[in-house]
Amino acid sequence: MASSAPRGLRSDHVVTVGIALFSMLFGAGNLIIPPLLALQAGSATPVAMLGFLIAAIGLPVMGFIAVALAGTARELAGRVHPKFGEFFVAAVYLAIGPCLAIPRTSSTAFEMLVPLLPEGVSLGTARLVFAIGFFVVAFALTLRPGVITRVLGRITGPALIALIVLVVGAAVISPMGPAAAPQAPYNAGAAVQGFLTGYQTMDLLASLAFGIIIAETIHELGVTDDRRVAFEISRSGVIAGVLMAVIYCGLALAGMQLGTVMPDATNGAAILARSASMHFGLVGTVVVFAIFFLACMNVCIGLISCCSRYFCETYVVEGGAEASEEAMRRPFAILAFVFAAFSCVLSNVGLDVILMFSVPMLNALYPVAIVLVLMGLVHGFCDAHPQVWVWVGGVVAVQSVITSVRDAFFAGAWLPFDALPLADIGAAWAPVAVVAFVIGLVHSQFVAHSRS
C-alpha cells in the first residue's frame, strides 16, 4: 500500500503559526524604521518600500524555512565549519541582544517620553534615570516570565494595533502634507537603499535565532516531515508577511506626509511622536509613549531571556539544553543581569548613535546570513558539493567584515572590493558569493575525483 502524504497543519493552525511569526518578528524597533525611510525617500517611497519589504519580510521568512530544513541555525552555519557556526550564531545573538536590539528598546521608549518632559530638564540625566529604571524592571520581570506573559502579553499586541490604526487612520483622513523630494541616499537607487535599510529590522538574524522555536511549534501540532514543516512555515509566512506589509506601508504613509514638516528628523520614534501630537495633541503623545513603553519592555524582556538562555546552554551550564532548571537558574540570572547592565550603559548613548553604529555590524552579518539562508534552501545540492559551503560562507564573511570595518573606521579608504559590480550600492558581497560558489563547485569535484 502506498504511504499517505505527510500530514499538514489545519487552517486554524496555519493562522496561529502565522500570528506567532508576526509576533516574533514585529517589535517596537520595526515601528520606527518605515516612518524615517518614507520621510527621507519622499516621492520615491513606493520604490524604496519595495526593497525594504523584500529585506524585512521576504528574507526572514526564508530564514525560518532554512533553519527548519537544517535543524538549528548552528547546524546551518556549521556546514561551513563547526567553529564558524558557533562563532556566527553567537554574533547573531549578541546583535539581536545586548549590542544592538536590547539597548534600542530603552532608547526608543525614551524618545517617546522626550516630548512630555518639562522644559529645562537635562536630556542626559533624564535618559540615564529612565534607562536605569527601565532595565531594573526588565531584569526583574525576566526572572519571572509568567508575569510578563499574563500582564503585558495581553496588552501589548492589541495596544500596538490600536496605535497603528490611530496613526495611519489619521494620516489617511487628515494628511499633513504632500511628499517631499527624495533626500540622500534615496535620491539615487531608492529600491536598493530600501533593501539595505531593511537590514536594520534585524529580522533575518532573528529568524535564524528563533527559527527552531517555530519549527518545534509545528512539530508539536503533529507535522513530523521536515519538508512539510518548511512548507507549513511558508504558508504561515504569507499570513505574517501580509500583516507586516500592511503595517509597514501604513507607517510609511504617516512618515511620508511629514517630509516638509520635519525634514531633518533622524529617527522614526520622533516622527511618530510628532504625528500623534499634531493629530491628537498631548493625549496622542501620552498614548504613544505608553504603548511604546509596553512594546519595548516586552521585547526587551524576551531578548534578555533568549540571549541569557542561549549562552547558558551553550557555554556555561554542563549538559546544555538538557540541564535541569535548577542548574540553569543561577547562571541564567547572572547572565541576565550582565546583559541588562551592559545594555543600560549602551542605551545612554542615544537612539541615533545606536542606529548609526548598528549599520556596520549588520552589514557584516547580513550578507553571511543571506548566503547561508539561500544555500540552506537548496541544501541538498550544496551538501552534495560540500566545499561550496566552505568557500561561499568563508569568503563572504571575510569580505563583509573587511568592508564593514572600513566603512566604520576608515570611511573613504579604497578596497579592491570597490572595483566589483554592485559595490557602489553596498552589495559587493553578491559577485564575491557567485565566484566563491563556482570555486566551491570545482573544488568539490576535484576532492571527489581525488578520492575515487
In Å, what is the CA distance from 428 to each residue of 46, 78, 136? 25, 24, 43
CATH of 11-346, one of 2.40.30.60, 1.20.1740.10, 2.40.50.250, 3.30.360.10: 1.20.1740.10
Sign of the alpha-carbon torsion through 59, 63, 64, 69: positive
CA angle 438, 440, 444 (to 5 degrees): 120
Q: What is the pLDDT of residue 155?
A: 62
Contacts of 267 (CB under 8 A, 6+ apart): 32, 36, 111, 351, 352, 355
Contacts of 124 (CB under 8 A, 6+ apart): 348
Q: What is the pLDDT of residue 393?
A: 96
Q: What is the pLDDT of residue 221?
A: 82
Q: What is the pLDDT of residue 1?
A: 42
Cell numbers for 23:
509576533
Q: What is the pLDDT of residue 231?
A: 83
Q: Where in the chain is the domain with CATH 1.20.1740.10?
A: 11-346
Per-position DSSP letters for 57-102, written without gaps between them: IIHHHHHHHHHHHHSSHHHHHTTT-HHHHHHHHHHHHHHTTTTTHH
| 182: helix, strand or coil | coil
Task: Look up the pTM and report it.
Answer: 0.82
Whole-number Å distance between alpha carbons of 311 and 97: 11
pLDDT-flagged residues of the chain (< 50): 1-3, 149, 152-153
Phi-psi region of 320 (alpha: psi -120 to 50; beta: other; left: phi over 0): left
- Residues 323 and 313: beta-carbon distance below 8 Å: yes
Cell numbers for 364:
557584516
Based on the number of CB atoms within 10 Å of its own CB, is 337 exposed (0-12), middle (13-18) or buried (19 or more)? Answer: middle
CB neighbour burial string for 187-221, b if at least 16 within 10 angstroms, e if fewer: eebbbbbbbbbbbbbbbbbbbbbbbbebbebbeeb
Q: Which amino acid is at 426?
A: G
Whole-number Å distance between alpha carbons of 20 and 117: 36
Cell numbers for 176:
499633513
Whole-number Å distance between alpha carbons of 358 and 352: 10
Q: What is the pLDDT of residue 39?
A: 92
Q: What is the pLDDT of residue 70?
A: 85
Query: How long, in residues, is the chain?
Result: 452
